[in-house]
Structure 1
Amino acid sequence: MQHHHDAQNPPIHARVITVSDRSARGERPDTSGPRAVERLEADGYLVDSALVPDGVDSVAGAIGSAIRSGARLVITSGGTGIGPRDLTPEGTRPLLSRELPGIAEELRREGARNTKTAVLTRGLAGIAGDPPGSLVVNLPGSVKAVDEGLDVLLPLVPHILSQLDGGDH
């Protein structure tokens, strides 16, 4: 579903944040972030990306920076599991004014259809930033999870942003 933008409807700014100690140290190439960028650009978003190490402060800082820069859609990839450094939800939650648990539940349900361990992912979805607000969604850190997650998410985003901007249901 391509967004049509013109002078009245400029492209929506999105930011993809990869959360990975190993990628941040240069030990492993980031594959999930570029896949998310590619998918969002194909859907008509104006996309930029960031790469940060795991951690509450690094995640919160990157999301806050994305929102201040005007991103209406912020996708994180990585740090949603149960390992000791998987702290993306903890970095995300304090920034959310309203959680959207149905989206997070659907992302897990869809992931679990193919990967049983997807039920262990702890990603959040919600609204952050000053009104009208931005949609923030945590996805797991694999290309497959990003693809599955965006399949669920992309059809919903225009409706969510329209609602935030005061549109009709």
Structure 2
Amino acid sequence: MDSAQATVIVVSDRCSRGEAEDRSGPRAVDLLRAAGLDVGAPVVVPDGAASVATAIEAALAAGSRVVITSGGTGVTPRDQTPEGTRGLIDRDLPGLAEALRREGQSHVATAVLSRGLAGVTEGGALVVNLPGSPRAVEQGLGVLTPLLPHLLDQLVGGDH
């Protein structure tokens, strides 16, 4: 796989205010780098659809072909990561989102409550919402990273 650019966006009110230390973002960065992607430090934003959409748009404008969000996928009133992502996705990848939940469920029953999305933008970038725990990020990227070479090749018109 070429060294595609990736961005990790951590969605957390507490981390964005400096009240908690984010551990999921650095873990995602490490795993994406190990998979051969070019990724900088995580971007931390507060919960909410607008902050998520703005951060994803900035990542795409900067050239990211892979955008991973961590956090905000649950059912609390502030969990709005899918709502901030939905308008930026041109084509859903429901099988990928289902596989991520299925893998999470094999570790913790409440993983099925994740509302995370996976899809492709009009410009051909992949956006995936993961839950906000380091373990969920490890499990999710364990599903995703083996698929990335084929998926990224397909997004630029590669053969099946």
Alignment TM class, shorter chain as reference:
over 0.9
1:115 partnered with 2:115: no
Matched AA of 1:165: V
Structure 2, unaligned stretches of length 5 or more? none
Task: Give the fraction of aligned pairs with identical amino acids, expressed as a percent.
Answer: 61
Task: Return the TM-score normalized by structure 1.
Answer: 0.92
Q: In 2, Cα distance between the equivalents of 1:141 and 1:114? A: 15
User: Which of 26, 34, 43 is matched with 1:42 structurally?
Assistant: 34
Q: Give the aligned partner of residue 82 of structure 2.
A: 89
**Matched ranges for 1:32-111 at <5 A:** 32-48=24-40, 49-111=42-104
For this pair of structures, how many residues does the alignment match? 159
Structure 1, unaligned stretches of length 5 or more? 4-8
Deviation at 1:129, TM superposition (A): 4.0
For residues 115-138 of structure 1, the C-alpha deviation after alignment (integer angstroms, 9 at most, x for no partner) is: 0000000000000142xx100000
Matched AA of 2:34: A
Task: Return the TM-score normalized by structure 2.
Answer: 0.97
The runs of 4+ residues in structure 1 deviating greater than 2 Å are: none
Q: Give the aligned partner of residue 145 of structure 1.
A: 136
The answer as to whether partners of 1:20 and 1:79 remain within 8 angstroms in 2 is yes
Deviation at 1:143, TM superposition (A): 0.3
Q: Give the aligned partner of residue 6 of structure 1.
A: none
For residues 23-53 of structure 1, the C-alpha deviation after alignment (integer angstroms, 9 at most, x for no partner) is: 0000000000000001111121110221100
User: Which of 128, 134, 149 is matched with 1:158 structurally?
Assistant: 149
